[in-house]
Every structure is written in structure tokens, then in C-alpha cells.
Structure 1
Amino acid sequence: MSSARSRSDADPVAQALAGAVALTRDAVRSIAAANPVILIDGRSGAGKTTFARELIASWPLRGRVQSVALDALYPGWDGLAEGVRVAEEAVLRPHARGLIGIWQRWDWDRGVYAEAHAVDPSLPLIVEGSGLLTAGTAPLGDIRIWLESPARTRRQRALERDGDTYRPHWDRWAQQEERHLSEDVPAQLATHVFAIP
């Protein structure tokens, strides 16, 4: 066995995400549902996509879990609220009623809706994205996650991830997130709040 520290031991963000994922797995087990719905919200760069990916990789129940990222639903740089509305109406409400949900991917390069995707109501569902926790969506999630992270490190991670594509739109998107924080107070709608450095 190597005595070298693993990457997650040296990386406080990876450590925080791993701890949050472990607690969420315990919560998934405790609700004893075959098709639980997990909602993951947080500002840009907070770690939502990584959190969702790690939760899927270590999913505690038998069978497959499906996921929807709001990045595929937002209709452009001014579309935070509209993407959340589409997630609620086309994905979450049908899932709650036992119906197949259908959503279309937004093609960011062409600025149009593209192919359609189905969501199976019999399977567990993870939905992640900025703006997700609202008074309308919260009752549709069994486990509701809010990731809290400082602005400086969030911005650094987001711009390292998306670079010059995102840089000119950072402030524009942040204003929509601020409106979400003010109007929806997502941390108060969460069942779990995790601090990510």
C-alpha cells in the first residue's frame, strides 16, 4: 500500500464533495423509495455537476439512475428561470405523477432546441442546476441539496471549466442567480446544505 496521499486527501473541495455524497447516499437509503428524486442546486461553480456525477457513480440502490442537467435545458444565457420552469413542467411533475417526461436539449451553438429525451418515472432521478430549488420544484424532490461555496473559488472553477465561453456572461448569469437567491431562498428549501470550499 502506498503511503502517498490521494488527490482527495489533498484537495479540500474533493473532500467536501465526497463527504456530501456519502451523507446523500445515506439519505437515499433512508427514504426507502425505489425511484427517489434528488434535486441539486447551487450557484455556478459550486460543484453541482461533480456532485451529481459522484453520486451516480456510487448510487446506493440497485438498478440504474437517470440524470438531467439544467445546462441542457436553459435556453441561452438569459434562460435560468425558463430552464427551471421546463424542468418542473416537463421532467419533475410527470415523474411525480408516474408519467414519462419529455424534454428537449438546448443547442447552445445554434440557439435552438434539439433532440428530445425521455425520463422514466419508475427510475430514480437526479436533477442538477442553478436555480433549481423553488417553491414549485421543492415538493417534487425527496432530497433537496444546496451547495454553498465562496464567490471567488466558484468563479475560478467555472472559468477554468468553461473559459472564454463563459467569461463574458459571468455577471449576466450571476444576476439571475442573485434573483433566485432573493426570491426563492433555496437554502431554506433544501433538506441538506453542504459547504464546498
Structure 2
Amino acid sequence: MDALAAELRALAPSCGPVRLVAVDGHAGSGKTTFAGRLAAALGGAPVVHLDDLATHAEPFDWTERLRAQVLDPLAAGRSTEHQVYDWTLGHFAGTAAVPLAPVVLIEGVGAGRRAVRPRLARLIWMELAAEDARRRGEERDGPALADFWAGWARAESAHFAADPSRPYAATTVDGVTGRISAGTVGEPSTSP
């Protein structure tokens, strides 16, 4: 993880002075966990969770909120904050700060979408089959959210069919082990 963090810090800025790094993959593939580990390796890099910008009614229509509340201010060299959606209350409640930093992570399904890619320094994909990721998510969330997962799976499938991220990822990470996949950018050196 330290080698990947050093590599990301060395990239050219992609969004104003920031190296914007996306962690994308299917829901339940380990994006949040991996982004947290990477943020720690980066010395506490800010992480924008796309679940905070999505809503029940608009699970994938958060691009404009991300642009206006996060990307444009960072591109202008300013710290910012964004609204946070409360999934229990069903509306936006509160905000999350995004300090200006050398590297800022965005994580969530669709983080590497077409509208965001021009501002990315790196796209990381969590490699886990959709059905395995869904099973993991359902186990995590319990039977009370089974209907949500069924609807989510349809929406996610439609999203990736129309706007795939995986082909644009320079780095892939095994969603089970959390290890950077062989043959991708950021792979740890095997030399002594």
C-alpha cells in the first residue's frame, strides 16, 4: 500500500492542484475498506464517499452534485464540503468536509464514470464478480434490505452497461484479498 501511495503522490495533478483518485467497483466489492486503507497510507487523504451524494431516487444521478460541491472547488484550489444524504431519513442532512490535499480519493459505484474520468489521475477498480459482491453486501446488510439489493443490482447493471469503468482502470485490486493485481499499475515490486 505504501508503494501505491508513493506512486499516486508522484502523479501529475489532475483536478487543479489535486491528484484525484477514484476507487470503483460493484457494490460490496470492498471499495470503502480499500479506500480507507489507501487514505491512511497517504497520511490521511480525504475520501469522498459517493453514497453520501447518491439518493434513493437518484442512485447514479449524483454527477452534478459531485461536480459543483467537490470537483469544481478542488480544481480552483479550494477546500470544500458536500451535502450528505441520510439513507434512513431519506433526505440530505449535514455536510462532509473535503480539505484541499495533494491526493483526494472518491469511492463508490460509478466513481470512474465517463463524466469524472477527465479529472482523474488514476482509476482503481475493485475486481470482484457482481454476484459475489452482491452476496457480500447482502450478508453485511441483512435480510431487511433484500428488496433494496434486488433493485440496486438492476440499477448497477444498467449503469455499468451504459458507462463502464473497468476498461479504464490502470490499477485493479482483488476484492477478496485487497491486493493489487499482477500486471496492473501500482503492482508491488517482486524484486528483493
TM tier, shorter chain? Answer: 0.7 to 0.9
Q: How many residues in Structure 1 have an aligned counterpart in Structure 2?
A: 173
Alignment of 1:47 with 2:25, yes or no, is: no
Question: How far is the alpha carbon of 1:104 from its aligned partner?
Answer: 0.8
**CA distance, structure 1, for counterparts of residue 124 and residue 100 of structure 2:** 21
**CA distance, structure 1, for counterparts of residue 72 and residue 107 of structure 2:** 15
With 106-115 and 87-96 compared, the bigger mean Cα shift is at 87-96
Residue aligned with 1:142, SS: strand
Identity of aligned residues (%): 29
Residue aligned with 2:81, SS: strand
Q: Which residue of 2 aligns with 1:93?
A: 72
Alignment of 1:127 with 2:110, yes or no, is: no
Q: Which residue of 1 aligns with 2:19?
A: 36
1:52-103 CA deviation, whole Å, 9 max, x = no partner?
11112222xxx54111111122112x42222343223321232122233331
Q: How do residues 132-171 of structure 1 correspond to structure 2 at under 5 angstroms?
A: 132-171=111-150
Question: How far is the alpha carbon of 1:42 from its aligned partner?
Answer: 0.6
With 115-124 and 104-113 compared, the bigger mean Cα shift is at 115-124
Question: How far is the alpha carbon of 1:105 from its aligned partner?
Answer: 0.7
**CA distance, structure 2, for counterparts of residue 132 and residue 70 of structure 1:** 7
- From 32, 44, 57, give the equivalent of 2:40: 57
Residue aligned with 1:44, SS: coil
Q: How do residues 182-193 of structure 1 correspond to structure 2 at under 5 angstroms?
A: 182-193=161-172
How has the CA–CA distance of structure 1 residues 122 and 24 changed in structure 2, closer, same or farther, with 3 Å as cutoff? closer
**CA distance, structure 2, for counterparts of residue 165 and residue 90 of structure 1:** 32
- From 47, 58, 70, give the equivalent of 1:67: 47
**CA distance, structure 2, for counterparts of residue 176 and residue 23 of structure 1:** 35
**CA distance, structure 1, for counterparts of residue 109 and residue 64 of structure 2:** 12
Question: Unmatched 5+ residue regions in structure 2?
Answer: 177-192
Question: Unmatched 5+ residue regions in structure 1?
Answer: 1-20
AA in 2 matched with 1:46? S
Alignment of 1:180 with 2:159, yes or no, is: yes
1:15-63 CA deviation, whole Å, 9 max, x = no partner?
xxxxxx456324314316574221111111111011011112222xxx5
**CA distance, structure 2, for counterparts of residue 117 and residue 176 of structure 1:** 26
RMSD of equivalent CA atoms: 2.2
Alignment of 1:24 with 2:28, yes or no, is: no
- From 83, 102, 124, give the equivalent of 1:104: 83
1:130-177 CA deviation, whole Å, 9 max, x = no partner?
122122101112111111212332122212221134321112111221
Residue aligned with 2:111, SS: coil
The structure whose residues are more often helix, as a share, is 1
How has the CA–CA distance of structure 1 residues 122 and 45 changed in structure 2, closer, same or farther, with 3 Å as cutoff? closer
